[in-house]
């Protein structure tokens, strides 16, 4: 029970890594507040947790909206009497194209969903964590934010994910004295809907880029998020934690 009775927000909880994290955190005793746009998927994940004697509530919305970040914190305060941590994980890949061919609307969307959302989330979450006197925030960055790894057409995505590392490090420095830790998690290719699930050729291409010659499953990444949210990582803050099957040390 690594997160017993901790109140944790998980965004991007309707599928993939976020859904796996919500289930894992709840199994580890957390009370989870689930966020994403699709209510039916959130209801399904929350239902699974509540039927297994866990505690989950959900609120659908768009992470681009400042009001949504605030509403998720309000829900945690109301339902679970406070906030102990957040896995700010929602993200999108967007159009894959060389930067010279990329439209500004794609750039703006990817930066808004992946990076500005993290700024809004942290602004909403920090005051609530300060009230507890401690807390942990985790952003889902990507190996692409650290080392491109041979993935073409990822300019906006890579910039947003590199930005999350910088944001985590600044927040870590701003709030270490408040007992709040902020880290970035950098997954390698992970089998999820936006990671190419259902497209065997794409999965095969990405798997072969990894020295381990496979992609992660969502639970392997959720386990790393669990570590960063739990007291087991109590001396980690401002860290870009790479969980990428060796992708970032690839030589070829
Ligand atoms: P996924 O299954 O497609 O999940 C993406 C999640 O983000 C969904 O729950 C989606 O929910 C939510 N989301 C997207 N746009 C949103 C918005 N505007 N507002 C609210 N929620 C939004 O993909 P995933 O692979 O688990 O992705 C999770 C995170 O891991 C992302 O940040 C992604 O960049 C990162 N990542 C993935 C990989 C990989 O290979 N899969 C590798 C490195 C990093 P709704 O559609 O219901 O809104």
State if residue 16 touches ligand 1 by the CB under 6 angstroms criterion. yes
Q: How far apart are CA 231 and CA 56, in angstroms?
A: 21
- CA–CA dist 69, 74 (Å, integer): 9
User: Ligand 1: which residue has its CA nearest to atom 36?
Assistant: 142
Q: Which helix (H) or strand (E) holds 200?
A: helix 200-209
What are the pLDDT tens digits along the chain (252 aa)? Answer: 999 999 999 999 999 999 999 999 999 999 999 999 999 999 999 999 999 999 999 999 999 999 999 999 999 999 999 999 999 999 999 999 999 999 999 999 999 999 999 999 999 999 999 999 999 999 999 999 998 777 889 999 999 999 999 999 999 999 999 999 999 999 999 999 999 999 999 999 999 999 999 999 999 999 999 999 999 999 999 999 999 999 988 755
Q: Which residue has the tokens 């798997």?
A: 207
Prediction pTM value: 0.98
89 in contact with ligand 1, CB cutoff 6 A: yes
Q: To test ligand 1's pocket by mutation, which of 10, 11, 17, 247 has the most ligand atoms within 8 angstroms of CB?
A: 17
Are 2 and 232 in contact, with CB atoms under 8 Å apart?
Answer: yes
Atom of ligand 1 nearest to the CA of 13: 9
| CATH tag, 7-251 | 3.40.50.720
8 Å CB contact between 36 and 42: yes
Q: How many A from CA of 53 to the centre of ligand 1?
A: 26
Residue spans of the domains in the chain: they are 7-251
Catalytic annotation present for 157: yes
Residue 179 CA to residue 142 CA, distance in Å, equals 25
């Amino acid at each position: 029970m690594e997160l017993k009775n901790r109140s944790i927000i998980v965004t991007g909880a309707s599928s993939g890594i976020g859904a796996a994290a919500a289930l894992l955190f709840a199994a580890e005793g957390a009370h989870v507040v689930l966020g994403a746009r699709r209510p039916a998927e959130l209801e399904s994940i929350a239902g699974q947790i509540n039927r297994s004697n866990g505690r989950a509530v959900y609120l659908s919305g768009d992470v681009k909206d400042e009001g949504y970040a605030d509403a998720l914190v309000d829900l945690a305060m109301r339902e679970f009497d406070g906030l102990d941590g957040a896995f700010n994980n929602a993200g999108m890949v967007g159009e894959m194209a060389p930067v010279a061919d990329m439209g500004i609307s794609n750039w703006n969307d990817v930066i808004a969903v992946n990076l500005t959302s993290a700024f809004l989330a942290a602004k909403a979450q920090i005051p609530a964590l300060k009230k507890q006197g401690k807390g942990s925030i985790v952003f889902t960055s990507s190996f692409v934010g650290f080392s491109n790894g041979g993935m073409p057409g990822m300019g906006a995505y890579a910039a947003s994910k590199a930005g999350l590392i910088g944001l985590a490090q600044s927040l870590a420095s701003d709030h270490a004295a408040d007992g709040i830790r902020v880290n970035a998690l950098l997954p390698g290719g992970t089998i999820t809907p936006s990671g190419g699930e259902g497209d065997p050729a794409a999965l095969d291409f990405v798997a072969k880029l990894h020295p381990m010659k496979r992609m992660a499953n969502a639970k392997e990444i959720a386990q790393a998020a669990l570590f960063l949210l739990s007291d087991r990582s109590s001396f980690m803050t401002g860290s870009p934690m790479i969980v990428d099957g060796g992708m970032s040390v690839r030589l070829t």
